[in-house]
């Protein structure tokens, strides 16, 4: 994507900052920032929205005209909303991207109070949606509820809404609630009122300062009366997750799925056919178990087999083993129960919670023939082929469905061919969706991930460019030599500075 050049970029830095402060150029409503002007620009505004992009990114190209259109609309908004962009792929801007933990493109961040508070943009990616989302974000974090009509317009049966009930809009309790609303405004909607009679569902029970969280599942609302900010945040985050999260094709479930998979809790998942004859029995038994272990560091998900194909593929599970129970804890241990029936659920979970369940170790069969240039490693051969091989091993962790892995495959083949006559080097791959591996040794957060184990036992993660030349350079610079290689097609030598 070609970046547009603003008037400010053609002037000195001081003149550019002056122009930014006064107005945005009429024909360009998205400021172009970089490492030289980012901090000064953000510090001059109470509210700045910044897109971190890469010129080659297709999603960024798609977003560009929508972002520009939104900037045009918001340039006349009161208070002003400043939209900006940073080429995070530019080498000089990478330190800036690292500072704000940019992991992919495009990433949009909201900078408040001159950059003192930074939040993720979690809104739509089309112009009208961006405008509506940012208008809400520039307004008060919590809106006052003055009537039943306000409640009707703000609270519905499809979303989380948090209301604070107070005798007056002052004092520590109200101030802490306001701080919570500001902190969590990107994730939840907040309101406050002086009169509980406006609220639906049990308003007569509110007789002192109270937080009431409305939700579209389980008990529909829940109250809380500890106004310490940390306690309120824990309450809101816990209460806004269903006792059992549903994995279906219904898009209204997606926010709750995100919370489930982002939770630090151990995850208990049950995948069944939602058109099967025993669905109600499974739902009832699974919810009973989830209720019994509520608040004990365990989260529960019930997945429709048809809708859950992606997550089954991600975990390397097979749909023909359903009804399928699967547990994964934070230590990377997995527990599997296939072909279960409703009466299996409670005793299986009790075994797990009591520490009596044996972990499941997943491995593909060890290949009988393994003579391709890139060797195949599986869970059961990892120890022999990598840890105990006495060789330098470059190991790729990949997923069969990963496009980046497919692009890397022929490059790794070329690297492996280059080392065919070197007895000290093994180039290998492991399907991370079908084989277990020690998470405390290999930190695999995405695919492909490359690790290099030297003959002496040092473990290094490769994070260089994915070219044949760069990978070979890395191997040559880090290998332990036990014998002299007969021939290696190495990368061209580079001039030293």
Catalytic residue among 57, 222, 279, 346: 57
- Measured on CA atoms in the order 146, 152, 157, 158, is the torsion positive or negative? negative
- CA-nearest of 381, 468, 456 to 416 is 468
Half-sphere exposure of 197 (CA within 13 A, CB side): 2
Catalytic residue among 399, 405, 425, 450: 405
Contact predicate 97/35, CB 8 Å: no
Q: Is 47 a catalytic residue?
A: no
Half-sphere exposure of 386 (CA within 13 A, CB side): 27
The Cα–Cα gap between 220 and 456 comes to 59
The Cα–Cα gap between 188 and 351 comes to 36
Contact predicate 106/100, CB 8 Å: no
φ and ψ at residue 47, rounded to 5 degrees: -145, 110
The structure tokens listed for 496 are: 């030293």
Strands 31-33 and 82-87: parallel
Q: Is 57 a catalytic residue?
A: yes
Give first-to-last CA distance, the chain, whole Å: 32
Catalytic residue among 16, 49, 60, 206: 60
DSSP code at position 31: E
For residues 272, 273, 277 and 282, what is the CA-based torsion angle, rounded to 10 degrees?
20
Q: Residues of 355-373 as b/e, b for ≥16 C-beta within 10 angstroms?
A: eebeeeebebeeeeeeeee
SS3 of residue 103 by DSSP: coil
The Cα–Cα gap between 274 and 305 comes to 7
Q: Is 406 a catalytic residue?
A: no
Contact predicate 298/266, CB 8 Å: yes
The Cα–Cα gap between 232 and 121 comes to 23
Q: Is 441 a catalytic residue?
A: no
Residue whose tokens read 């990107």: 186
Question: What size, in residues, is the chain?
Answer: 497
Catalytic residue among 402, 409, 434, 459: 402
- CA-nearest of 464, 460, 465, 466 to 480 is 460
Residue whose tokens read 């269903």: 242
The Cα–Cα gap between 202 and 8 comes to 57
Catalytically annotated residues:
57, 60, 402, 405
């Amino acid at each position: 994507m070609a970046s547009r050049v603003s008037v400010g970029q053609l002037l000195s830095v001081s003149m550019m900052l002056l122009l930014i402060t006064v107005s945005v150029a009429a024909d360009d409503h998205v400021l172009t920032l970089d490492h030289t002007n980012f901090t000064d620009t953000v510090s001059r505004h109470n509210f700045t929205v910044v897109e971190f992009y890469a010129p080659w990114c297709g999603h960024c190209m798609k977003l560009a005209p929508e972002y520009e259109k939104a900037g045009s609309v918001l340039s006349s908004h009161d208070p002003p909303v400043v939209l900006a962009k940073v080429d995070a792929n530019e080498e000089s801007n990478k330190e800036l991207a690292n500072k704000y933990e940019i992991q992919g493109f495009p990433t949009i961040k909201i900078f408040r109070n001159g950059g003192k508070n930074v939040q993720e943009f979690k809104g739509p990616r089309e112009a009208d949606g961006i405008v509506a989302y940012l208008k809400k974000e520039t307004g008060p974090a919590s809106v006052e509820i003055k009537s039943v009509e306000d409640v009707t317009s703000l609270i519905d049966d499809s979303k989380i809404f948090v209301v604070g009930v107070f005798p007056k809009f002052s004092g520590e309790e109200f101030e802490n609630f306001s701080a919570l609303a500001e902190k969590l405004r990107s994730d939840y909607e907040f309101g406050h009122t002086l009169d509980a009679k406006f609220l639906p569902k049990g308003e007569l029970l509110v007789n002192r300062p109270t937080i009431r969280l409305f939700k579209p599942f389980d008990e529909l609302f829940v109250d809380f009366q500890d106004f310490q900010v940390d306690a309120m945040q824990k309450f809101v985050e816990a209460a806004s997750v269903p006792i059992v999260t549903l994995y279906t094709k219904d898009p209204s479930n997606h926010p709750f799925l995100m919370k489930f998979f982002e939770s630090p809790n151990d995850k208990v998942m049950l995948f069944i056919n939602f058109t099967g004859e025993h669905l109600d029995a499974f739902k009832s038994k699974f919810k009973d178990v989830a209720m019994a272990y509520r608040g004990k560091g365990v989260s529960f998900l019930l997945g429709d087999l048809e809708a859950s194909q992606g997550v089954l593929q991600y975990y390397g599970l097979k749909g023909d083993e359903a009804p399928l129970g699967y547990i994964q804890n934070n230590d990377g241990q997995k527990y599997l129960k296939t072909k279960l029936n409703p009466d299996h659920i409670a005793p299986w979970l009790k075994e797990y919670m009591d520490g009596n369940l044996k972990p499941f170790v997943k491995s593909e069969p060890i290949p009988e023939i393994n003579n391709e240039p890139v060797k195949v490693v599986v869970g059961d051969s990892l120890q022999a082929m990598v840890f105990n091989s006495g060789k330098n091993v470059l190991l790729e962790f990949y997923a069969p469905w990963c496009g980046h892995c497919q692009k890397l495959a022929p490059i790794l083949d070329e690297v492996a061919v280059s080392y065919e006559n070197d007895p000290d080097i093994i180039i290998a791959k492991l399907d991370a969706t079908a084989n277990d591996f020690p998470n405390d040794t290999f930190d695999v957060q995405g695919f492909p991930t490359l690790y290099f184990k030297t003959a002496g036992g040092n473990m290094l993660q490769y994070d260089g460019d994915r070219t044949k030349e760069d990978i070979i350079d890395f191997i040559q610079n880090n290998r332990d030599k036990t014998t002299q290689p007969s021939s290696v097609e190495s990368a061209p030598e580079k001039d030293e500075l």
